[in-house]
Amino acid sequence: MFFNTRTALCALLGLAAVSRTAVAFNALSHTNVVNYWGQNSVSATGGNESSLATYCQGDTIDVFAIAFISQIVNGEPILNLSDHCGNTFANSSLLDCPQVGEDIKTCQANGKALVISIGGASGSYSIDTASAGTAFAEQVWDTFLGGSSSTRPFGDAVLDGVDLDLEAGTNEGYIAFIQTLRTKFTASSKSYYITAAPQCPYPDLATSAALDAAWFDLVWVQFYNNYCGVNTYGTSNFNFDQWDTWASTVSINKDVRVLLGVPGGPGAAGSGVVSASQLNTVLAGVKSYASFGGVMMWDAGIAAQSGLAASAASYLHSLPSGGSGGGSSPSAQPSAQPSPTTTTTTKSASKTTAPSTMTSPAQASPTPTQGGGGGSESCSAAAWNSATAYNGGAVVSYNGHTYTAQWWTQGNVPTSGAPWTDNGACSGTGSTPTPSVGCAGAPAWSSGTAYSSGAKVTYNGNLYTAQWWTQGDTPGTNSVWVQGAACTSSDSEVNTSKSTTKTTKTSKSTTKTSKSAVKTSKAPTKKARNGKRRLYSPEKFESWRL
């Protein structure tokens, strides 16, 4: 019988199309692998991030978050793609990246989903009003999604959604932003997605308003550069279970997927880097949570260089179906000493190169004080002491109120807010001690020094604790620093350098009250963040977001 090669070829192409459809992105999957792309973080370790299309080959990566829309200027989005794209449209600040647009279409043809990520370590993108959120949604829709504009960075390529990698502020305007986009999504035949990348401390200050009030499809939590990082798996600090509870009891979308966010390999974060075998152990433990949706990595270049993305994808695909509920956040071991790192609910996860100068926490490993549950009307609870380390749930009395620790903490004055919850006024014999300040052992803050999570510094007469990796973020003006007690005149604060003193002009309010450290988190900051995804700068290449 005559063999019709054209017929055979058509048949093969048909099978290929069916196969491709079968592996198309599924938001409800428990095995999705997400990579951020665009900031070329791997350059810090001698590598170079390849084109987007390069990473779309094969079945390793399911979702790409293109990083970042780093600023909102006059209501318009400003895109930063490191050295992947530098040309702009005439009379516009928007990048003109036709090749990236072609790569996006190639990736989508390969069954991948691609979202534009808003945020990052450096930038100004806070939205605090509903009207601003609605207006910005219109801009993003026309510029990157299903709308139309003469200045679309990726041409006629239509992205599959938006990712929120917010690092500062309360961003309540993003609720209206998402709701406006959702209205447009429902009127379109195309599937769109909204995702977020909060820090693991729960709740995450920068995204909690939107997370609790708007519909999200996937939330990839950054389990690194924080006390609850993936490297703490096996201790009571690791809190995937809290995020699973959020998914089932708080999230509007009860089918939302929670992904485990990890560094893609060495150099991707200040802490939380794990090997392939270590990651597999964690994945085996969390895969049975009903909300579990896979793994996210910062970022594509580093994850490819280390092989972690391919290893994780292979391992996830080999597992029995997950999401059966219950989970296994390994028997928490309260006796295990948590790393001395206080943390605020402000978001920040790090995708970054390891800083050249790191300052370790200025404190010895404390013996945590185990506390009980909620507050009490009696001040019989032990008086708060700045030198004592408290586990989550610990109850103390301070200034006529009782407070409950939300997570491990040391040196954070209860009245300063997170990580303490005010249970209200109390009565009884409880006392308010004169804080044991301990400023003498802490160096004066320096804008040129990189500080790791838990590092303590003195600034403007107060003690501050870093909540994650940071450099150049002035204490009192950025949520990465939590204000502690005031230093005494005998402490080392008197040695504060003149250069440090000059920078105090940024915020007079930081010397007045410990509450200012919390209030300033509502204001947008230009370098808001732990050492995560610091944006590309030709002068100083620091590409780090997740």
Q: Where are the domains of the chain?
A: 29-318, 442-522
In degrees, to the nearest 5, what angle opens at C-alpha 167 toward C-alphas 298 and 525?
Answer: 135
State how far the Cα of 287 lies from the Cα of 310, in Å rounded to an integer.
18
State how far the Cα of 64 lies from the Cα of 198, in Å rounded to an integer.
17
- The residue to which tokens 């219109």 are assigned: 138
**Model pLDDT, residue 15:** 38
The SS3 of residue 305 is helix
What contacts 24+ positions apart, CB below 8 Å, involve 245-250?
Answer: 246/202, 246/203, 246/211, 247/219, 247/290, 247/291, 248/290, 248/291, 250/211, 250/212
Instruction: Sort strands 358-359 and 450-451 into parallel, antiparallel or unpaired.
Output: parallel
pTM of full prediction above 0.85 = no
State how far the Cα of 193 lies from the Cα of 438, in Å rounded to an integer.
48
Q: Which of 167, 172, 493, 542 is catalytic?
A: 167
Asked if pLDDT for residue 484 goes beyond 90, the answer is no
Proportion of the chain above pLDDT 70, given as a percent = 68
pLDDT tens, residue by residue, 188-245: 999 999 999 999 999 999 999 999 999 999 999 999 999 999 999 999 999 999 999 9
Active site residue 167: yes
Q: Which of 2-16, 305-319, 432-446 has the highest mean pLDDT?
A: 305-319
Q: CATH number for the 442-522 domain, one of 2.10.10.20, 2.60.200.20, 2.40.50.140, 3.80.30.20?
A: 2.10.10.20
Asked if pLDDT for residue 285 goes beyond 90, the answer is yes
Architecture in CATH of 29-318: Alpha-Beta Barrel (3.20)
Residues 6 or more apart from 96 whose CB is under 8 A from it?
85, 87, 88, 89, 151, 153
Query: Which residues does residue 369 pair with via DSSP β-bridges, in sequence order?
Result: 390
